[in-house]
Amino acid sequence: MLLFEGGNLFKDRDGNIRSQSINQTDVKPTAIWLEQLTGLPIIDNLLGSTGLKPESGDMDIGVDKSVMSKEKLVAILSTWLKSHDLKPDEYISGHKTGARSAEQAEQVSFLAPIAGHPERGFVQVDFMLEPDLEWARFAKRADANTNYKDSVKHIIINSVAKTIISPEHPQGLTWSGQYGLKDRATGEMITKDPDEIAQILLYRAATRNDLRSVESVVDAIEKSQHKDVKLKQAEADLANKGIHLPVVKEGSPDWYKSFMKKLS
C-alpha cells in the first residue's frame, strides 16, 4: 500500500482544494523565495518528504520557535498577502485558536505562490514551530525511498515504545516526533539521542538509521528479542487505518528463517 503526503487544508466554497502539488525542481526556488520573505533558513530545514520525490503534495518546514514566534510569522505572511490584495484568512491557517492537538497548535499553514509567482499556482506550506530544530531535522525528515507516509513511521515507532515496559517504566514509553522519547505515564523525558532511542526500542546494536523509515524500523524489529510483541502492537495500531506493515524482504536472512519455520 503506497501512501504519500499531501496538503488539502485550503478549499474554496465548493470544497475544491485550492493548493497544488509542487514539482521537485520547484522546491528550491520556492524555499529561496520563502527565505527572502521570512528571513528564516528554509532550505536546510525541509521536513517530511519535501523535495525528496519527483512531486510533493505540500512543503513541510521546520522553524526554531525561539527565533520566530507564531505571531511574528503570521504578521510577515499577512503583510505580503495584503500588499498583493489577498485576504490573510484565505491564505493562512492555524493562526487562530481552536480545538487542535498540541503539535498542530505549533503549526502555521500558508498557501504560498510557487517560486513566488502567483500565476504559477499555490502550494500548501506548513511551518512547524519546533522547540528543538536539530531533533526535528532527524525525527521529522522522511526517507527518500520509503513507500509510506512519514506519519506511519511515527505510529509504528510509538507502537514499539508502548511495549518497552520495565519496573522504571511500568506503562511503557512514548515517542514524540517533537520532543523525543518519554515515559508514557509521567511524560518524563528519557532521551532525544537518536542512537540511544534506536537501541532502547529496537535492539542493542541498532542505530539512528534504523529509525529512518517504516521499512527500516520493521527490518530492525525482526532482529529484536521481543519482535512478536512489538509487531503485534504496531499491526493493531495501524489496522483501523487500513495500513499494513511491509513484509520482510524475500531472500533476506529473516525471510529465510521465517520460511524454514513454516516448513518445520
Q: What is the mean pLDDT of residues 214-235?
A: 92
Q: Does residue 8 surpass a pLDDT of 60?
A: yes
Cell match 487505518: residue? Answer: 241
- The pLDDT score that the predictor gives to residue 1 is 33
Query: How high does pLDDT run on average in the chain?
Result: 88
- The pLDDT score that the predictor gives to residue 94 is 80
For 84-116, the pLDDT digits (tens) are 999 999 999 986 655 455 555 689 999 999 999
- The pLDDT score that the predictor gives to residue 241 is 85
Written as nine digits, the cell of 152 is: 506511519
Q: Does residue 2 surpass a pLDDT of 50?
A: no
Gyration radius (Cα) of the chain, Å: 20
For 43-88, the pLDDT digits (tens) are 999 999 999 999 999 999 999 999 999 999 999 999 999 999 999 9
Higher pLDDT, 27 or 12: 27
Written as nine digits, the cell of 20 is: 497544488
Residue positions counted in the chain? 264
- The pLDDT score that the predictor gives to residue 263 is 44
Domains of the chain: residue spans and CATH: 22-139 (3.30.460.10), 150-263 (no CATH)
Q: Which amino acid is at 212?
A: R
For 138-171, the pLDDT digits (tens) are 999 999 999 998 999 999 999 999 999 999 999 9
By C-alpha distance, which of 102, 94, 122 is closest to 33? 122
- The pLDDT score that the predictor gives to residue 106 is 86
